[in-house]
Structure 1
Amino acid sequence: MGLLLSLKKKFGFILKLFFKKDKMRIGIYGPPNAGKTTLANRILRDWTGDVMGVESEIPHETRRAKLREGVKIEVDGKSLTIDIVDTPGIATKIDFHDFLKYGMSEEEAKRRAKEATEGVIEAIKWLDDLDGVLLVMDSTEDPYTQVNVTIVGNIEARGLPLLIVANKIDLPNASPARIKSAFPQHTVVPISALKGINIENLYRAMAEKFG
């Protein structure tokens, strides 16, 4: 497994030039409550009329990765077929006390914390089976966090194409410019996944980056 990953990182770009895939497997990553499932639902509603999962203010509501295959996006005469993987929120620390704030019993909160920890591990494992990543960040918060830096580092180490999605620009204190400043080496697309603001520009960026 280690040798295969090493070869993939070393020759992945060359292989993609000669063996272009019919569809790309794209993971949606980010910290809890950044809007990953909201974005997955927005993409599916726009192109299939379906949804991926439940949107919730409770952190780590998505505890297991969810896969939706064969989503076809068409923009500016270009078409892109993707498999979408909506992953659990990445966190460096998960405390069951955080779940108690939402009215859960201590037993339920501890169970949710355990499931969330397992979800983080699963999300990291999925990186080995992806062709690209949409990294969702909350543009109302400081982007230069240990979680975001760790995710970006993991993606870069694997040589995966990356688009950073600066979400929640519909909120008054949003600042996509902070995200662009924190990660200037990557393309940042400001959107509101909830309201659909600037979503067409994200689809164009996806067709360019992943097509």
Structure 2
Amino acid sequence: MGVITSFKQNFSDFFKKVFRKKNARIGIYGPPNAGKTTLANRILRDWTGDAMGSVSHIAHETRRARRREGVTIKANGHSITLDIIDTPGLATKIDFHEFMEHGMEENEAKRRAKEATEGVIEAVKWLDNLDGVILVMDATEDPYTQVNVTVIGNMEARKLPLLIAANKIDLPESSPSTIRDAFPQHPMVAISALEGKNIDNLYEEIAKRFG
């Protein structure tokens, strides 16, 4: 019986290796306004000349997960083809008053808050279908937030390969070392998705980490 079980397992592993999906599905996650869509746009523009979507200073501007297939990244002898998934900003609570602070009417603010909440639920469900995650954090903010700790714990429980992008190093108050010290168990690259600083280092790490 043990021999049969071992054979089935070996055959299953071989089958998965031969017929595995061509593209690695990589989700870009993080709290609101960390720069997820800016990073997704940077990756797509660098490798396809296209863009994922619009960027806004208003939190939760991305309210639905967006996917772009077949993005090939080549870096330092490594090559990987990705399906890039840009997700809504993860938050433990979304208050419609946040939208009203940007001049929206109450009905519109409530609609946006509802959509954003549904988007967060959708983003969490996407984790079941991913091969890895790029977690974008704002290097100007304290990394010890409930959202960051919860998200990382969730991904660790799922055993998803995780790469942290400490974003916004173009700002003088940024401190990517704080993020590294907070989560030393995961690789981290300090970048500016807006200006492209250190973006080549990120591509190298993506190709090595998820390839």
Q: Structure 1 segments of 4 or more deviating over 2 A?
A: none
1:133 alignment counterpart: 133
TM-score (norm 2): 0.91
Match runs of 1:181-192 below 5 Å: 181-192=181-192
**For the residues of structure 2 that align with 1:15 and 1:129, how far apart are their CA atoms?**
19
1:75 alignment counterpart: 75
2:93 alignment counterpart: 93
1:5 alignment counterpart: none
Report deviation, 1:22: 2.4
**Structure 1 regions of 5+ residues with no counterpart?**
1-10
Larger Rg: 2
Report deviation, 1:146: 0.3
How many residues matched? 199
**For the residues of structure 2 that align with 1:101 and 1:49, how far apart are their CA atoms?**
35
Coordinate RMSD, CA, aligned: 1.7
Matched residue of 2:140: which SS?
coil
**For the residues of structure 2 that align with 1:201 and 1:31, how far apart are their CA atoms?**
22
Match runs of 1:38-187 below 5 Å: 38-187=38-187
Matched residue of 1:72: which SS?
strand
Matched residue of 1:82: which SS?
strand
**For the residues of structure 1 that align with 2:57 and 2:144, how far apart are their CA atoms?**
22
TM-score (norm 1): 0.91
**For the residues of structure 2 that align with 1:134 and 1:75, how far apart are their CA atoms?**
17
> Does residue 28 of structure 2 align to residue 28 of structure 1?
yes
1:62 counterpart letter in structure 2: T
Report deviation, 1:77: 2.0
2:146 counterpart letter in structure 1: Q
Deviations 1:74-115 (A, max 9, x none): 111221100000000000011000101111000000001100
- Aligned-residue sequence identity (percent) comes to 71
**For the residues of structure 2 that align with 1:55 and 1:71, how far apart are their CA atoms?**
20
**For the residues of structure 2 that align with 1:66 and 1:51, how far apart are their CA atoms?**
11
Deviations 1:21-80 (A, max 9, x none): 422000000000000000000000000000000011000000000000000011112211
**Structure 2 regions of 5+ residues with no counterpart?**
1-8
